[in-house]
A and B are shown apart, each in its own frame.
Chain A
């Protein structure tokens, strides 16, 4: 059973508008969450993260929101740009994780139309 889920495999947004990517998790031991961005034929690159002690973290056009009670996080991109078109992966890490491992969702392909 997937512990981290991204229920929307794809999302299409007009340039300049807001993109909202969603992620749900089931493991209450997760205490740190990350978003990675992946372009075709490249490795995933770290985008932004949030600790479970916070409910929001902002970095430029990117903001991640965490709702622990709902076990839900979202990534907001404002304004969206064509260069943001990529696959976005949500990832989570648990407490007492000796291997520092991440559990990933299935990814959401974002397409930003000019």
Chain B
């Protein structure tokens, strides 16, 4: 029971190109998040959303934008991909404030 899926799961792109990662949830959860995982840094928050069209920046938001036009979809866009954005990206969701956060399976992005 995934409940939350990410696409694409793997992508290789060239420096300077825009990239969009999609997160889709079927749980009608209010909160959605984008994290990136890098060695030695654990998981760092990029952006989050607390409702449709309500988003805010996280710890490492530079170079990223997000959109949430529907409850179920949360898009992460790299406006002009750089090699430093090579990472594993995890989408996550939570039903409400104080609830556990559940993660998707990750999207592996390589910028060459």
Q: Knowing that A100-B50, A100-B101 are A-B contacts, what are 7 other residue pairs whose CB atoms are under 8 Å apart, sorted by A's residue number? A: A4-B42, A32-B98, A43-B92, A46-B101, A49-B100, A104-B42, A105-B42
Chain B contact residues (Cβ within 8 angstroms of A): what range?
20 to 34
Q: How far is the CB of A77 from chain B (nearest CB, A)?
A: 19
CA distance A97 to B98 in the complex (A): 9
- Which of chain B's residues have a CB closer than 8 A to the CB of A6? 42
Q: Give chain B's interface secondary structure class.
A: strand
User: Which of B12-20, B62-70, B75-83, B102-110 forms contacts with chain A?
Assistant: B102-110
Q: A98-B50, A99-B56 are in contact. Are A41 and B42 (CB under 8 A)?
A: no
Q: Is the interface of A mostly helix, strand, loop or mixed?
A: loop
Q: Of A34, A91, A100, A106, which contacts B41 at CB under 8 A?
A: A106
For residue A54, give the distance in angstroms from its CB to the closest CB of chain B. 15
Complex interface: chain A residues within 8 A of B43 (CB)? 44, 89, 91, 102, 104
B45: interface (CB < 8 Å): yes
Chain A 1-23 interface residues, beta-carbon cutoff 8 Å to B: 4, 6, 9
Given A43-B90, A89-B43, do A102 and B105 touch, yes or no (CB 8 Å)?
no
Residue pair B100, A99 in contact (C-beta under 8 Å): no
A101 touches B58 (CB 8 A): yes
Residues of the A chain whose Cβ atoms lie less than 8 Å from the Cβ of B31: 99-100
**B-side contacts of A36, CB under 8 Å:** 103
Top-3 shortest CB links A-B: A43-B103, A104-B42, A104-B43
Q: In the assembly, what is the distance between CA of A45 and CA of B105, in Å?
A: 10
Cβ < 8 Å to A, chain B residues 79-98:
90, 92, 94, 96-98
Q: Are A41 and B106 in contact (CB under 8 A)?
A: yes
The answer on a CB contact under 8 Å between B40 and A106 is yes
Known: A42-B106, A43-B106. A104 touches B100 (CB 8 A): no
Residues of A within 8 A of B22 (CB): none
